[in-house]
Amino acid sequence: MLTPGNVADAADSDEAVDEVNGNVITPEAELPPEVDGNVGSTAQYAIADGEVAETAISVIERFLELLEIDGTVEPVALSPADSEDPLESPPSFNIAGDDLGILIGRRGQTLTALQYLCRLIVSHRTKSWSPLVLDVEGYKQRRTEALRALAIRMAEQVKSRGTSFSLEPMPAYERRIIHITLADHPEVTTESTGEGESRKVVILPESS
């Protein structure tokens, strides 16, 4: 049975179970790898058309029903931090409601797992990889703004001190926000180090 407490465990399992239909998800095509939130250039993307959006909303609403959580699924505009080209922006959705922190989890881990499961199911149904973005009560947008401010502040420290600075471990999409925010900074560069949950961004002086 799917519960808020085991969403992450389901996403980490070898096979994700589509509890909407009771079927094990086995996409015909191998899902494209993601590195720091970026999907490989050879990935086949589903066009963000009405079918994909309708399927995604149906899947998310079914998850909420299974989890016995009241919430409304709303299509939203993608944050620029997630895609620099609006024409290539994946479909994005926000779950609105009261007391939805249980869907976010510690450091957004439950939300990340739920998004992953939704991507798997939608991709399975549409027969094409769809990197949809899922948010809860605007959590990712608020987190994005905080991470941008942190990246700029830490970059100034690295610039003035001339030494590198390691940020706390973050999930892939948060690391990507840091990388994109500082991509055009003339005096610092960024790189990701570590493995698994310990993976983090290091900000370095450009000359190092």
What is the overall mean pLDDT for the chain? Answer: 78
Q: How would residue 202 be classed by pLDDT, with cut points 50, 70 and 90? A: very high
Instruction: Give the separation between CA 206 and CA 208, rounded to whole angstroms.
Output: 6
Instruction: Give the separation between CA 113 and CA 8, rounded to whole angstroms.
Output: 5
pLDDT at 158 over 90: yes
Its pTM stands at 0.67
Instruction: Give the pLDDT mean for 162-183.
Output: 93
Close Cβ partners of 74 (under 8 Å, ≥ 6 residues apart): 93, 94, 95, 96
Residue among 181, 186, 189, 180 nearest 208 (CA): 189
Instruction: Give the separation between CA 143 and CA 168, rounded to whole angstroms.
Output: 14
User: Which fold would CATH assign to domain 141-205?
Assistant: Ribosomal Protein S8; Chain: A, domain 1 (3.30.1370)
Tell me the Ramachandran region of residue 138: left when phi exceeds 0, alpha when psi lies from -120 to 50, beta otherwise: left
One-character DSSP codes across 134-170: EEETTHHHHHHHHHHHHHHHHHHHHHHH-S-EEPPP-
Instruction: Give the pLDDT mean for 189-207.
Output: 93
Question: For the chain, what are the domain ranges?
Answer: 4-137, 141-205
Put the strands of the sheet holding 200-205 in their side by side order: 165-166, 200-205, 188-193
Instruction: Give the separation between CA 206 and CA 172, rounded to whole angstroms.
Output: 23
Three-class DSSP category at 200: strand
- For residue 162, the model assigns a pLDDT of 93
Q: What is the CATH number of domain 4-137?
A: 3.30.300.20
- For residue 51, the model assigns a pLDDT of 82
